[in-house]
């Protein structure tokens, strides 16, 4: 279900906001706000307002402030005030300098933990096993995984998409894609035994929704207020219970059974799924615990795989509805690359879809998940850059991927949606998964998103069938793109938008 629909009513009531303001002001007068000191110039929403209010207003216009700083301090670091500290935004000229720095000096894990309120949404801070497994096991297995993805999608499409032959049917696009993505991802993460269990699928969606609600409602509050406000959020209470339920009801029995068979059955063949890869890759007692494995698996499913892929797919379909002229060339390419049928698609088939890849890259360029990327926390001692600029210990740093993707000096005609700009040169390597100055929304350097290869493959598998077999349009023939939802630097598609779909009578 759409988590925005299920936001608690009381935090959104206008009458309660004066109480919020009173609490904030009283506590702020008694508590000092601690930030890491950096000498970079500071961008504020309004220089006449106290810093405290400027921190809160980060959630009103973060993209505008980031764009303003990018233009005003071209080539120089600058910082923006956030409720939980300062965000230092570095210019592109530092990219190579940061590319190969180890996680012991600049930590992605600690930045993610801070950015998604890890202490409230139960994000692991002391295990790199999930990310390691994605890099070393999932990505190299894509050729094996694609047939399973297709197999699960064959079940998911008729299960999730309502019957719409010869008639238009209204659906919540985000909700529909979320359900399809949850089922498909579950097949790869937890195997074919659990992936069609409705109890598990409902848990995945509820867990994902509760993470979204928690982040959306708590992020605007200063760090010192969050423990207090969290006590009033049902989503915060539910997450640990859901995690415990996942462990006790699903993962603990599966892990114990697999380990027992491995010890006692010489003919036992291990399942080829993400959970087993994590079990095999765990090299210390902490990572081997069922609770730790459960924690990592739920994080991968809810945050890393399902939610971000669902957003990218939703954005893409919104862009297609507004540009129906793109459907014919995309359908031609899909037919050409899937000559043996969609059910026989391979990883090579999806790699050959250059038009679809270029369109997805362009949609993602203008509708990313965030205005900034490659977020890191400086660890250990202060970090002195090549030009003697100093980043103090604990600094929260990033690069301005949003402004860079709209910079005419980096991308010609950057404000024009040019669906096939990335595939006109047949020799170019400008894929959606390619990371460079023109495409940094998946991160940068050693710690760039390792799951992007799997995500893009799955998105292409879904869109190839959806584009070929369905017509789609906005409800009430909406002529404008649904406005994105902003939460600070975070960007989400409008999840309330209804879309009409109808079968085309074409099977691929």
List residues forming the annotated binding site for heme: 449
Burial class (CB in 10 A: 0-12, 13-18, 19+), 464: buried
Sign of CA dihedral 69, 71, 72, 76: positive
Host H or E run for residue 80: strand 78-82
Rounded Cα gap, residues 218 and 135, in angstroms? 31
Q: In what order do the strands lie in the sheet with 498-503?
A: 169-172, 498-503, 470-474
Binding residues are 449
> Is residue 482 within 8 Å of 322, Cβ to Cβ?
no
Joined tokens for residue 199: 């109890």
Rounded Cα gap, residues 214 and 500, in angstroms? 30
> Is residue 395 within 8 Å of 65, Cβ to Cβ?
no
- The residue assigned the tokens 């190969």 is 100
Burial class (CB in 10 A: 0-12, 13-18, 19+), 101: middle
| Range 275-300 burial, b when 16+ CB lie within 10 A, else e | bbbbbeebeeeebeebebbbbbbbbb
Rounded Cα gap, residues 75 and 90, in angstroms? 8
Rounded Cα gap, residues 423 and 445, in angstroms? 24
> Is residue 183 within 8 Å of 160, Cβ to Cβ?
yes
């Amino acid at each position: 279900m759409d988590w925005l629909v299920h936001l608690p009513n009381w935090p959104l009531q206008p009458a309660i906001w004066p109480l919020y303001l009173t609490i904030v002001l009283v506590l702020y007068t008694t508590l000092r706000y601690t930030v890491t000191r950096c000498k970079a110039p500071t961008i504020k929403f309004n220089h006449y307002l106290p810093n405290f209010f400027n921190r809160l207003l980060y959630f009103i216009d973060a993209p505008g402030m980031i764009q303003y700083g990018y233009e005003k301090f071209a080539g120089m670091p600058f910082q923006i005030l956030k409720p939980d500290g300062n965000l230092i935004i570095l210019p592109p000229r530092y990219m190579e300098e940061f590319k190969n720095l180890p996680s012991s000096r600049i930590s992605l894990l600690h930045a993610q933990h801070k950015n998604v309120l890890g202490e409230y949404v139960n994000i692991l801070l002391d295990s790199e096993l999930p990310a390691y497994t994605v890099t070393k096991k999932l990505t190299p297995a894509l050729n094996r995984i694609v047939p399973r993805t297709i197999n699960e999608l064959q079940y998911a499409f008729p299960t999730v998409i309502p019957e719409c032959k010869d008639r238009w049917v209204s659906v919540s696009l985000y909700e529909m894609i979320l359900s399809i993505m949850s089922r498909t991802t579950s097949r790869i993460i937890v195997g074919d035994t659990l992936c069609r269990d409705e109890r598990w699928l409902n848990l995945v969606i509820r867990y994902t929704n509760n993470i979204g609600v928690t982040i959306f409602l708590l992020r605007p509050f200063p760090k010192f207020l969050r423990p207090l406000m969290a006590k009033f959020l049902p989503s915060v209470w539910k997450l640990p219970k859901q995690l415990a339920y996942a462990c006790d009801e699903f993962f603990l029995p599966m892990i114990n059974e697999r380990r027992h068979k491995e010890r006692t059955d010489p003919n036992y063949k291990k399942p080829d799924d993400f959970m087993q890869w994590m079990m095999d890759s765990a090299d210390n007692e902490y990572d081997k615990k069922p609770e730790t494995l459960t924690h990592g698996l739920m994080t991968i499913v809810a945050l890393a795989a399902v939610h971000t892929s669902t957003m990218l797919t939703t954005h893409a379909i919104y862009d297609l509805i507004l540009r129906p002229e793109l459907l014919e060339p995309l359908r031609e390419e899909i037919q050409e690359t899937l000559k043996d049928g969609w059910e026989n698609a391979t990883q090579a088939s999806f790699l050959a879809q250059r038009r679809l890849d270029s369109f997805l890259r362009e949609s993602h360029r203008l509708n990313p998940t965030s205005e900034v990327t490659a977020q890191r926390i400086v660890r250990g001692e202060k970090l002195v850059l090549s030009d003697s600029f100093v980043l103090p210990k604990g600094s929260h740093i990033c690069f301005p991927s949003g402004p860079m993707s709209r910079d005419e000096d980096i991308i010609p005609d950057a404000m024009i949606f040019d669906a096939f700009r990335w595939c006109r040169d047949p020799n170019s390597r400008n894929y959606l998964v390619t990371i460079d100055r023109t495409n940094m929304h998946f991160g940068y350097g050693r710690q760039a998103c390792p799951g992007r290869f799997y995500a893009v493959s799955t998105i292409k598998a879904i869109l190839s069938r959806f584009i070929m077999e369905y017509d789609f349009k906005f409800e009430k023939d909406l002529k404008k793109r649904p406005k994105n939802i902003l939460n600070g630097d975070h960007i989400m598609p409008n999840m309330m938008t209804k879309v009409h779909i109808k079968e085309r009578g074409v099977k691929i």
